[in-house]
Structure 1
Amino acid sequence: MITVISQILGFIGSLCLLLFGMEMLSNGIQKGAGNNLQSLLHKISGNRFTAVLTGLAVTAIIQSSGATTVMVVSFVNAEIISLTQAIGIIFGANIGTTVTAWIVSFFGFSFSIEAAAIPLFGFGFILKYFKKFKIHNFADCFMGFALLFMALGLLKNSMNLKPDSVSFLQKFQDLNFAGLLLGVLIGTVFTALIHSSSATTAIVLTMSANGSLPWELGAAMVLGSNIGSTVDAVMSSLGASVNAKRTAAVHVAFNVTGTLIALLFFQPFLNLIDLIVPGTPIQNITIHIAMLHTVFNILAALLFLPFVKQIASITEKVIHESQKEKDAHYKIPIILPKNHVSKDLYTFQVQKEITKMAGRVMDMMGYLNQGLNQQRDMAILIDEINAQEEYVDEMNHEISWFLQKCSRLPTANHSDRNNYSSMISVIQNLEDLSDECCSIMHSLCKFKKNAESESFKNHTEELIEYFNQVYIFYEQTCTYIALGLSEIDKVLLSDVEDRIDSTKRELKKASRKRIENGSNVKAELNYMDLVRKIEKAGDCIFGVIQAIQPNVEDSVLADGSEKNLISAQNVIINTKSRKAFVSGKEVLLAVKEYELLALLMKNKGQVLTRKQLLESVWNYDKEIESRTLDVHIGLLRQKLNNQKLIETVRGVGYRIS
């Protein structure tokens, strides 16, 4: 009795160690690979074969079909990939998960894996301290492999059962087809409970190697593990979008149908494996089981791959989107699995949701534009903008909550947390902008009520022109949210924000003069309030720009920090490296040309006289012709490809506005 209890406890402990080792291995590989895995999934083309290869590669790398399917369900839910692409990836994931069986069959039984486990774990632990070389992220990978090998060794010992104690398993074969179904059921239930078909396969291989499990029953349990592996996709789809549910349904249907077909042709299928693998199953049963697992998933994928579009079409007809789902409040379409956590799985999805949020705010800006141009009834516009503002508030709350949860993941490093913090700052600025849009709409209603007809017309034209500056600024920002931006873009966009601030001061100054001349005070105050709020909307937009992390290294900053940069329109100079750039591309300037340009840009907005320029750049004590300055100005305009950057102030000098 004590021996039985000891073996049961040993099996449970070995199984837990195996699952922990596999999770550490998966997380270590994902952490080391960084964004490459999500980039691989994101760049899938519409080609079904490419999708299969992608699913195979990702699953083989991270050693978890569950993590891949959860990733796929999440990406479909976030509308990053289509249902057709997802089906191909699922086919490939089923093939990729067979890599674990081959690792176990080759290394788990050919030498003393316990002897290799300890040095491997020690190597992984030491690797944690090599942070400068950026290889410390793979430390968990090696330690996970060590725990996996250690767990397999313990499993072999805990399952070293006497023939008499497992004689009941031999009786399963006497039940013929019913016995096979029972084996499939055991594999399905066990895999669903532990959330790992790879672990189930490892246990089947271990029991088969010990002679505890007959060949036919082991094959049936491996087939059942394919059905049990769908539990992650099913759980991930609960509460998700209709497309996510369709993806999970396809995964279940594919694995169940493939298993049923294999059972119908079970004996011919085993004969095929015997033909491929040399020797009898008794002689090398682990290779037989690993080969069966691989051949089954490859044949199933080849069988259904030509009908991917038809499968997607049938699924869409069977699983409909209800009106309740269409009208539901915002809920972030991202699944955070409990057993396969990795921060790299969610970056694209969060970026996609932020882009959607920016689109909602763009709609609100459009409503303001319609209100200013009197294109629609104000009452209707107010209702629509208020509804959008509530939805944006929900998005802000949901996405911020999720990003905070991601920052607490064990695989998230300092750089990741900075990235999450930047994303939170972006969405908060977008939410502030949506609030300002509502405030501007309400102020616009007050302004219309209090303004006289003639003055209203003049003021509205000024407001439309001013609002268009902010509107175009936000259109540019939406592009940067979707595609990313560089440091040079940030510097150039700061000029746009400066122009918005400058226009506000001019409009408010003109309004105060009108009040002094006897204009309607209440109308003018409402007008200045609108100007102030439009400018505040511009500040929110610039806040988004500042929060977006640069996606490339800029040659502009190669020789210094942002403090060394001076910009005007699309031209930037780096005062430390003494280089000039037009739209990010370096322009070669002569020494005097650079000094002349730098002097004008440092005094942007001021008119510098010819005498000041000649004294500063050429040292006036030299005898030089006055045409020298004009020639250099002409050369600068030509090289910068911008005739309007440097303005000529006749009779005085030059300036950059």
Structure 2
Amino acid sequence: TVTGVIVAFSYLKVVKMIVAALAFVGVMLTFLKGERIKQIGGILCGFGLIFVGLDVMGSAFDNYPEITIFFQNLFKQVDFPLLLVVLGAVFTAIIQSSSAATGIFITMVGVGALGLDCALFLVLGSNIGTCITAVLACIGSVENAKRTALFHLSFNVIGSIVFTMIIWLFKDQAVEILQSFTSSREMQLAWFHVIFNVVTTILLLPFLKQLVTLVTKIIPDKVVRDTENRQLKYVDELLLKTPSVAVMQVKKEVQYMAEQAQENLKKSFAALNDVATEYSAEIEEREQAINFTNKAVTRFLIKLSPLVDVSDERHVGAYFHVLNDLERIGDHAENFSEIALEMQEKNLAFSEVAMQELHEMEDAVLRMFEIAAEAFEDMNSARLNELAALENQVDNMKRDLTTRHYARLAEGCCKIEHSPYFSSMVVGLERVADHLVNVGYSILNPTGSQSEAKNAEN
């Protein structure tokens, strides 16, 4: 949209000079070291070359009037709104750039080769054709990528259909309104492009939730039971082409893995109070997903590591350790579930006092989970001291709960058969707390070590 406005202003010499300077800077940047700098250079260079190409095309129209006459006659023959929309969509899909397509249409309007009334429908079609890039990119990708492409396509198609109907019915009035804005034919089409995108966004904004629901129903999540057919939720091999984006997506995948581990932790404790068999299958399935995510993302990070720049190296290193910590938390949650199953098979149950103590320790660990997840997501160390304090509290609870348990054994309030299970639960929760500290402190130090993080701060 912005490109179209700039193209419309390109008849000004100062704009041409600025664009030429950007293209020159872009070319120079491609010779420097650093992948990100080269990418910026490529963007600037490509942006500048679009305008160079449009300027050359405009000169061709000026030097060869017969070309202008040819296109004038051509569009007289195809002056049918739906056909023009299709032509705009197909043309944009072929060149895979709505910026270039819109720029070409604006240039042709400026030299008189294309009437504004026809150009309006071509621009509407270009907004549909530009979706082909996203559609091609999502082929063979994860569900969320496919949904994003479908959402983009649906959004633009709906907007184009609505505007096509309105412009078709009130074409003369629409042209008059645009002409009242400015006498420049280029700017008239550029403003129409701006109005289309702004109005479409405003109109469809209240219906975003419905659109998301629609694309989710069209492309549902794959329900798989075997590791071989599992897919990651946010990470895809195609992301290796854009390392900086890949790092962000890995973070999302790690956060999703943390949610799965946290849910298993909650369910495993629920199994102690209920029929354990009702939770075991769900916990096992989620544990398999956690293990798969750990292995798959680790393999992806190994491929990604050589490609990232210096600023992302520390994040990648931290993700290796966080994945391992979350996988171990998942293992402990699975162990708790197995304890619940085994106790119910043997008709054993903790005393009310013992269950209350375990739930107090669980609550402390779950608070740690929330703090660690928040710190990891926001990269904010403000609550890390609170996390460390809770970890010390859990350590003390482990010691106190063990002492009280043996006191109850001596008093005959608990059975000796409870001891291995109670001890395993307490020790497991304490180890989960240790892993959560590592997750939280990973934002300061890749290994999650508190001592190393404090040394780094000093």
Q: TM-score, normalised by structure 1?
A: 0.53
CA–CA distance in structure 2, aligned partners of residues 231 and 294 of structure 1: 24
Matches within 5 A, 1:271-282: 271-278=176-183
What RMSD in Å do the two structures reach over aligned CA positions? Answer: 5.1
Structure 2 residue matching 1:101: 3-state secondary structure:
helix
Matches within 5 A, 1:20-419: 97=1, 99-107=2-10, 110=13, 113=16, 117=20, 121-122=24-25, 125=28, 144-157=43-56, 160=60, 162-164=64-66, 167-175=69-77, 177-178=79-80, 181-208=82-109, 213=114, 217-232=118-133, 234=135, 240=143, 244=148, 245=150, 248-278=153-183, 287-298=184-195, 301-302=198-199, 305=202, 308-309=205-206, 311=207, 321=217, 325=221, 327=223, 331-333=232-234, 343=244, 347=248, 354-372=254-272, 375-396=273-294, 413-419=309-315
Structure 1 residue matching 2:103: 3-state secondary structure:
helix
Matches within 5 A, 1:436-455: 436-446=332-342
Kept after mapping to 2: 8 A contact 1:222/1:293? no
Residue 197 of structure 1: how far off its partner (Å): 0.9
Kept after mapping to 1: 8 A contact 2:92/2:129? yes
Structure 1 letter corresponding to 2:259: G
Residue 385 of structure 1: how far off its partner (Å): 1.8
Residue 525 of structure 1: how far off its partner (Å): 5.0
* Match 2:430 to one of 535, 540, 547: 535
Between stretches 220-229 and 295-304, larger displacement belongs to 295-304
* Match 1:545 to one of 440, 446, 450: 440
**Quick one: structure 1 residues 166 and 336, their matched pair in 2 at CA, closer, same or farther if it must change by over 3 Å?**
farther
Cross-structure match for 1:435: 331
**Quick one: structure 1 residues 391 and 448, their matched pair in 2 at CA, closer, same or farther if it must change by over 3 Å?**
same
CA–CA distance in structure 1, aligned partners of residues 37 and 443 of structure 2: 28
**Quick one: structure 1 residues 416 and 171, their matched pair in 2 at CA, closer, same or farther if it must change by over 3 Å?**
same
**Quick one: structure 1 residues 248 and 421, their matched pair in 2 at CA, closer, same or farther if it must change by over 3 Å?**
farther
Residue 100 of structure 1: how far off its partner (Å): 0.9
Structure having the higher helix fraction is 2
**Quick one: structure 1 residues 247 and 400, their matched pair in 2 at CA, closer, same or farther if it must change by over 3 Å?**
farther
Structure 2 letter corresponding to 1:177: D
Kept after mapping to 2: 8 A contact 1:205/1:289? yes
CA–CA distance in structure 1, aligned partners of residues 286 and 22 of structure 2: 59
Cross-structure match for 1:40: none
Structure 2 letter corresponding to 1:195: Q
Kept after mapping to 1: 8 A contact 2:357/2:401? no
**Quick one: structure 1 residues 499 and 210, their matched pair in 2 at CA, closer, same or farther if it must change by over 3 Å?**
same
Matches within 5 A, 1:550-589: 562-563=454-455
Cross-structure match for 2:361: 469
Structure 2 residue matching 1:107: 3-state secondary structure:
coil
**Quick one: structure 1 residues 158 and 295, their matched pair in 2 at CA, closer, same or farther if it must change by over 3 Å?**
closer
CA–CA distance in structure 2, aligned partners of residues 337 and 294 of structure 1: 36
Structure 2 letter corresponding to 1:273: L
**Quick one: structure 1 residues 322 and 290, their matched pair in 2 at CA, closer, same or farther if it must change by over 3 Å?**
closer
Cross-structure match for 2:449: none
Q: Is residue 2:314 matched to residue 1:422? A: no
Q: Which runs of 5+ in 2 are unaligned?
A: 225-229, 446-451
CA–CA distance in structure 1, aligned partners of residues 276 and 205 of structure 2: 49
CA–CA distance in structure 1, aligned partners of residues 406 and 21 of structure 2: 80
CA–CA distance in structure 1, aligned partners of residues 210 and 391 of structure 2: 52
Residue 435 of structure 1: how far off its partner (Å): 1.3
Kept after mapping to 1: 8 A contact 2:240/2:304? no
Structure showing greater Rg? 1
Residue 253 of structure 1: how far off its partner (Å): 1.1
CA–CA distance in structure 2, aligned partners of residues 307 and 126 of structure 1: 40
Structure 1 letter corresponding to 2:88: G
Kept after mapping to 2: 8 A contact 1:113/1:149? no
Structure 2 residue matching 1:177: 3-state secondary structure:
coil
Structure 1 letter corresponding to 2:364: I
Structure 1 residue matching 2:217: 3-state secondary structure:
coil
The Cα offsets for residues 215-241 of structure 1, whole Å up to 9 and x where unpaired, read as 555454333212222334555777636
CA–CA distance in structure 1, aligned partners of residues 399 and 388 of structure 2: 17
CA–CA distance in structure 2, aligned partners of residues 232 and 323 of structure 1: 19
Structure 2 residue matching 1:321: 3-state secondary structure:
helix
Residue 422 of structure 1: how far off its partner (Å): 3.0
**Quick one: structure 1 residues 233 and 532, their matched pair in 2 at CA, closer, same or farther if it must change by over 3 Å?**
same
Residue 200 of structure 1: how far off its partner (Å): 1.0
Kept after mapping to 2: 8 A contact 1:108/1:152? no
Structure 2 letter corresponding to 1:332: K
CA–CA distance in structure 2, aligned partners of residues 404 and 259 of structure 1: 49
CA–CA distance in structure 2, aligned partners of residues 230 and 175 of structure 1: 27
CA–CA distance in structure 2, aligned partners of residues 408 and 108 of structure 1: 45
Q: Is residue 2:375 matched to residue 1:478? A: no
**Quick one: structure 1 residues 272 and 320, their matched pair in 2 at CA, closer, same or farther if it must change by over 3 Å?**
same
The Cα offsets for residues 536-573 of structure 1, whole Å up to 9 and x where unpaired, read as 323322222222459xxxxxxxxx972499xxxxxxxx
Kept after mapping to 2: 8 A contact 1:332/1:395? no
Aligned pairs, number = 438
CA–CA distance in structure 1, aligned partners of residues 47 and 219 of structure 2: 48
Kept after mapping to 2: 8 A contact 1:223/1:293? no
**Quick one: structure 1 residues 119 and 527, their matched pair in 2 at CA, closer, same or farther if it must change by over 3 Å?**
closer
Structure 2 residue matching 1:474: 3-state secondary structure:
helix
Residue 293 of structure 1: how far off its partner (Å): 3.1
Q: TM-score, normalised by structure 2?
A: 0.72
Structure 1 letter corresponding to 2:123: V
The Cα offsets for residues 126-149 of structure 1, whole Å up to 9 and x where unpaired, read as 799899xxxx97886576445533
**Quick one: structure 1 residues 461 and 247, their matched pair in 2 at CA, closer, same or farther if it must change by over 3 Å?**
farther
